[in-house]
Every structure is written in structure tokens, then in C-alpha cells.
Structure 1
Amino acid sequence: MIRFLFKALIGFLGLSLALVLVFKFIPVPVTATMLMDSNGITKDWTALSNIDRTMVRAVIAAEDGKFCSHEGFDHEAIEDALENNRQGGRIRGGSTISQQTAKNVFLWQGGGYVRKGFEAWFTVLIEQIWGKRRIMEVYLNVAETGLGTYGMEAGAQRYFGKSAASLTPLEAARMAAALPQPKQRAVRNPSGWLARHGNTISARIGSVARDGLDSCVYR
């Protein structure tokens, strides 16, 4: 039994390393989330150079302000989320863009400590092997942006009828605001809290630019 478990562990480590190395250079063809989506799959892999920098700044502003300064994990955000959840507040996560990318590409949606453990392993691998620019490029191409829609290019075409290369700050901010719940949150003509949240993200885009919070992506 121990021998079998050892072989299984070695096999998993080898396979995971091979997948990370392959996806450092080639587009991710499909993910588990896409395959399990009953709405189908609409996607259009787009190089980071063809995605407006405003979109990069919007997701950093909305999802992970420390993207360029952490090594895959925002320990302060994780501790805050755990404390909030212990106190019975609205369930929050502390995932970075790196963690979300690892989950989206290699794993499945949903919680659980087992998946979190795998997520941590893949996060370490992509931080070390891919680097920040590739992590951002993959994230912007595999993130769910609407019903059966994946990636910023497909999302931009769906919502605004234009390429992700020419998004305005407000358009990028509204897409970023919808990322945590892309099936429920409106991108076009949002109202109430969601509209205010999008406006806040749009305003923060300038801070990301001014403070160089996206500098690791464009070295």
C-alpha cells in the first residue's frame, strides 16, 4: 500500500510539473470548468499584448492589489477572510489571481481542503515556472466572464462588441466587477451596488497605474 501511494505521489508530481511546463508556452485548450458548463464554451485565446493594459489594471484593482508583491499568496487577506468567516460574516475568500489561475486551469470549482491543497501546490509551481506575466495572460484567457463565455476577448465581444484591445476603463472595470459571479452579475447596464462597485474599480485603475501595481506584468 505504501509503495502504491509513493508511486501515485511521484506520478502526480511528474504530471503536474509536465502540465505547468507545457502551458508556459502553449494556450490552455480547455479547463474542467469549461467542460462542465452546460451553457457551452465561447472563448478566443488572446495574447496579453492584444489585451488593453486597462483590463490588467482593472483585475488587479478588483481582485488582487498585491499581485506584483506577493509570491502567490496574500497571507493578510487569507487571515482576514478566515476571521470574517469565523465571526459569521458573509463568506469571503482570500484567493490571489495566482491561486485563481491555478484553480481555473488545473482543478475544479468549489471548496474543500483537498482542492485547496492542490491549489496551493499548483500556485507555487506557476509562480516559479510561469512568472507574473504568463499568470496574468492565462488568467485573462480562462476566467469565466459570462454564461458559457471565457476570457476577456470573448467577454469584450459579448458585452461591448469590441476587442479586448480597445476597452475603456469603465468597460474593463465592469467586466472585473462581475468576475466573482459572472453568471449572476450584469456587465452591461449594471445597477445598484454593482454599478457603484464598477465605478470604484474604474477609479482605482488610476491608482494601479500611478503606483506601478502592474509593473511585474510589463517588465
Structure 2
Amino acid sequence: MARRKTPLWRILRIALTILVVLVAIPVVLTPVYLVVNPVSVPMLERYLTGRPVEREWRPIGDISDRLKASVILSEDGQFCRHWGVDVGALREEVEDLLAGRDVRGASTITMQVARNLFLTNAPSYLRKAAEIPLAVYIDLVMPKRRIMEIYLNIAEWGPEGQFGVAAGARRAFGIEPQTLDWRTAALLAAALPNPMLRKPAEPTANMSRVAGIIAERAQQYGGRASCVGEGGRLAL
């Protein structure tokens, strides 16, 4: 006897159930992560495939203010001002895409947190479409200081499973993340866009140049990062 085709409503119901579960995960976990230190999706993937993971959580108060300022001024200069998404940067990215120009990327720190905590390696524009509402929700639920604390502890900072600034600073310079001068802080920040290839301890001439620009901007405009400082101030 021929098998009956699965009714369309059953397929839709399954798809809707999957969608509800996928939405519920970040909705439920984001408030939990206000008090529980999370593990990122890339970390989970390494755990599940038996690859090493090096990460020691550091409270944001135990991380150099120079690094916080350097990361914000290099990754997301409007972090303290926007609500999870930099609308201006996104608009420019869309305009560049439509004009056929190279797309520079417009992911905020909050969007990167959303991606690392809740998303997998879907096609870039599908992923970014999911990052936007997630980032808005995270920014609504979490204070900026907690978002930055999570980011600095889940960002990949080395090619061999180093996650978070403690592992990154130790691997690169053999120091703790609260004892960074401007050069080491800027070099660590400069490595973030491509931690698989960029080596803070052995910077290329171009990486040193970029780090110098980051350090200069962070010293000049460090006030833009004040939302992640103790009492709303950074000791630079």
C-alpha cells in the first residue's frame, strides 16, 4: 500500500515548533546570563569535537581599562550610545552592497555577542538578519558593562582554542589582563578581527600600524567607552 503524503499542516507545525524553540533559547537564556557566565557556540563546537578549549573567566573589574577602550574604539565606537545595533553603519553597509563596493561589516559588539552565544555558521546575511533582533533584545536586558564582560570572555583570541582575554593575554605576552600597557592592549584589540592569523606577540608591520592607530584613538576618545568603566569612568 502506498504511503500517504505528509499533510502540509504537519510540515508547517513542525517548522513552527522548531522556530519557536530557536526563538525561545535566547529569550530564556539572555536573562540567565545576567548572573551565569556563558559558554559560546564556538566553544561548544570544540568541546563536542574533542578539541582543546582554554578559557578562564575574568570579571570586568579585573580587565584593563586600556583594553576595554581599545576594543570599543576598534570594534564598535558607538557601543555606549547605540541600542545594540549601529543603524548608521548598517545603512552604509547596505549602500556599499547595492553599489557593488566591498562590504566592511557593521557588526556591533552586541551583535557579535549574539552571534557567539546563539548562532551557528549560517550564510553571512542570514546570520546578520538574526543578529539584529537578538542584539536589540540583549541590549534591552543587559547593561553595557555586562555585555562587554561577556564579550571579553568569549571572544576567540588565538588559533588553538584560546577564548577570552585571560587566555589571549597569557598566550601572547604571558601576562594577566589587568596589567596591560597601551601597546599590549592595542595589539590584543587589533588581533580580534582575525585571531587565527594575527599574532599580538609577533605583529607584522601592518598590524603594528593598526595597533598604533587604535592606541591613539583610545587615548584621545576613551570617554566614549566610559559606560563599561567602574562607576561610569575608565582609568586610562
Q: Gapped runs of 5+ residues in structure 2?
A: 1-8
Q: CA deviation at 1:207?
A: 2.0
1:26 and 1:66 map into 2 onto residues whose CA distance is: 26
Q: CA deviation at 1:110?
A: 5.2
Q: CA deviation at 1:6?
A: 4.6
Identify the residue that residue 95 of structure 2 maps to in structure 1: 83
1:155 and 1:133 map into 2 onto residues whose CA distance is: 20
2:44 aligned with 1:32: no
Alignment of 1:28-107 (within 5 A): 28=38, 30-37=39-46, 40-107=52-119
TM-score normalised to the size of structure 1? 0.90
Q: Paired residue for 1:195, among 194, 201, 208? A: 208
Q: CA deviation at 1:168?
A: 0.8
- Give the AA of the match of 1:59: V
- Give the AA of the match of 1:176: A
Identify the residue that residue 225 of structure 2 maps to in structure 1: 214
Alpha carbons 1:34, 1:40 under 8 Å: kept: no
TM-score normalised to the size of structure 2? 0.84
1:32 and 1:132 map into 2 onto residues whose CA distance is: 21
2:228 and 2:122 map into 1 onto residues whose CA distance is: 28
1:138-187 per-residue CA deviation (whole Å, 9 max, x = no partner) reads 00000011111110111011111110011111111111111011001121
1:12-50 per-residue CA deviation (whole Å, 9 max, x = no partner) reads 44332111111111111x322123347521111110010
Change beyond 3 A, Cα 1:10–1:34? closer
1:92-150 per-residue CA deviation (whole Å, 9 max, x = no partner) reads 21011110111011112453343223212321221011121111000000001111111
Identify the residue that residue 139 of structure 1 maps to in structure 2: 151
Identify the residue that residue 24 of structure 2 maps to in structure 1: 14
Alpha carbons 2:156, 2:162 under 8 Å: kept: yes
Q: Gapped runs of 5+ residues in structure 1?
A: none
2:26 and 2:205 map into 1 onto residues whose CA distance is: 43
Which is higher, the Rg of structure 1 or of structure 2? Answer: 2
Change beyond 3 A, Cα 1:193–1:110? farther
User: Which aligned segments of 4 or more residues in structure 1 are displaced greater than 6 angstroms?
Assistant: none
Root-mean-square deviation over aligned CA pairs: 2.0
2:133 and 2:25 map into 1 onto residues whose CA distance is: 13
Alpha carbons 1:142, 1:151 under 8 Å: kept: yes
